[in-house]
């Protein structure tokens, strides 16, 4: 009996060894592979862009070379403020089950910091994931604001000349001494009514008391009347994307102004800005404006 038990034990060990040797070795890294495409046409690392811009994302993925598990799904998830949003959720076709290659163009309309994560998953539920950070900044240029700028007539103590760079009102003699700084002149006439004009404007030069005929530098500021409301003007922040300034639509003055009117202008130095009429006083040649000008 003892001898039989010993032989049975030996046989059991032999069968176990045979069974074990028939099993497949366990795959150490069974996940599929995924990579971003490189090159100047693609974005594959952390990037900073402006709102409204797009990036091109290129993906290469393949099944695990050992498990041969077929690729099943591909996703791109955008996470902002800890909230994930699925941008792409693809179930792969039969011709994509071994390898997957695709390009995506993604646009970012909103300012903020987001994460983009791309994931490939196979039939065994194994997945691989890659990603990078996208920092989206406000499109446009930095602007400066000057509120309640008061203009007067040539003989007022306020002054009729304004320099957008210095944010200074000049009287007649001061303006003559700072000709290169003067971008805008205010006057009120019978024909033009309340008007802002460039130093090279013909009607402004016809005003004898301004003495513009003695100036040697007359900046060519140009003006375009807009449909922008006062509320829209007031809502402009510290960064703003100015629209195209079409010179063909511009004039050397903006006349017959009314309270709340917003004028788009461009100085000879190339700085764009807006002038909003705050108050056109009922008596005298006086006015009050708010200005927004690019730095």
State the SS3 of 203-231: HHHCCHHHCHHHCCCCCCCEEEECCCCHH
Report the pLDDT value the prediction gives residue 189, as an integer from 0 to 100: 87
Whole-number Å distance between alpha carbons of 221 and 241: 20
132 and 145 assigned to the same domain: no
Report the pLDDT value the prediction gives residue 13, as an integer from 0 to 100: 45
Report the pLDDT value the prediction gives residue 15, as an integer from 0 to 100: 45
Report the pLDDT value the prediction gives residue 27, as an integer from 0 to 100: 86
**C-beta separation of 55 from 36 below 8 A:** no
Report the pLDDT value the prediction gives residue 26, as an integer from 0 to 100: 84
Residue 134: what are its φ and ψ, rounded to 5°?
-120, 120
Q: Which of 202, 200, 184, 183 is nearest to 192 (CA)?
A: 202
Could you tell me if residue 188 is inside a domain? yes
**C-beta separation of 167 from 177 below 8 A:** no
CA 224 from chain centre, in angstroms, equals 25
Number of domains observed in the structure of the chain: 2
Last residue of a domain, which of 137, 170, 190?
137
Last residue of a domain, which of 119, 137, 155?
137
Name, in order, each residue with C-beta under 8 angstroms of 65's C-beta and a sequence gap of 6 or more.
none
188 and 270 assigned to the same domain: yes
Q: Side-chain half-sphere of 272: how many Cα atoms within 13 Å?
A: 15
How do the pLDDT tens digits run along the chain, 295 residues long?
Answer: 444 444 434 344 454 444 444 444 688 999 999 999 999 999 999 999 999 999 999 999 999 999 999 999 999 999 999 999 999 999 999 888 999 999 999 999 999 999 999 999 999 999 999 999 999 998 899 999 999 999 998 777 899 999 999 999 999 999 999 999 999 999 998 899 999 999 999 999 999 999 999 999 999 999 999 999 999 999 999 999 999 999 999 999 999 999 999 999 999 999 999 999 999 987 778 999 999 999 9
Last residue of a domain, which of 137, 158, 181?
137
Could you tell me if residue 95 is inside a domain? yes
Report the pLDDT value the prediction gives residue 25, as an integer from 0 to 100: 65
Whole-number Å distance between alpha carbons of 275 and 148: 11
> Which structural domain range is residue 164 located in?
141-294
253 and 183 assigned to the same domain: yes
* Residue 164 backbone zone (phi > 0: left; psi -120 to 50: alpha; other: beta): alpha
């Amino acid at each position: 009996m003892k001898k039989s038990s010993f032989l049975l034990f030996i046989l059991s060990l032999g069968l176990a060894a045979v069974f074990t040797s028939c099993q497949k070795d366990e795959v150490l890294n069974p996940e599929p592979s995924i990579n971003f495409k490189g090159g100047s046409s693609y974005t594959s690392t952390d990037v900073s862009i402006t709102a409204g811009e797009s990036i091109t994302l290129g993906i290469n993925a393949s099944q695990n070379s050992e498990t041969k598990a077929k690729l099943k799904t591909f996703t791109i998830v955008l996470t902002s403020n800890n909230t994930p949003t699925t941008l792409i959720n693809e179930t792969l076709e039969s011709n994509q089950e071994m390898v997957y290659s695709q390009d995506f163009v993604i646009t970012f309309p909103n300012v903020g910091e987001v994460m983009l994560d791309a994931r490939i998953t196979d039939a065994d539920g194994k997945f691989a994931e890659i990603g990078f950070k996208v920092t989206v900044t406000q499109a446009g240029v930095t602007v400066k604001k000057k509120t309640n700028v008061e203009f007067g007539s040539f003989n007022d103590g306020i002054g009729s000349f304004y320099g957008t760079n210095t944010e200074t009102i000049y009287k007649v003699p001061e303006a003559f001494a700072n000709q290169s700084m003067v971008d805008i002149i205010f006057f009120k006439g019978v024909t033009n009514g309340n008007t802002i004009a460039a130093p090279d404007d013909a009607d402004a030069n016809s005003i004898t008391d301004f003495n513009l005929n003695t100036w040697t530098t007359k900046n060519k500021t140009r003006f375009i009347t807009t449909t922008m409301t006062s509320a829209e003007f007031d809502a402009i922040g510290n960064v703003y994307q100015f629209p195209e300034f079409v010179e063909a639509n511009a004039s050397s003055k903006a006349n017959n102004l009314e309270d709340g009117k917003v004028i788009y202008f461009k100085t000879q130095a190339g700085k764009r800005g807006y002038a909003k009429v705050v108050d056109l006083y009922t008596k005298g040649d006086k006015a009050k404006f708010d200005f927004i000008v690019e730095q």
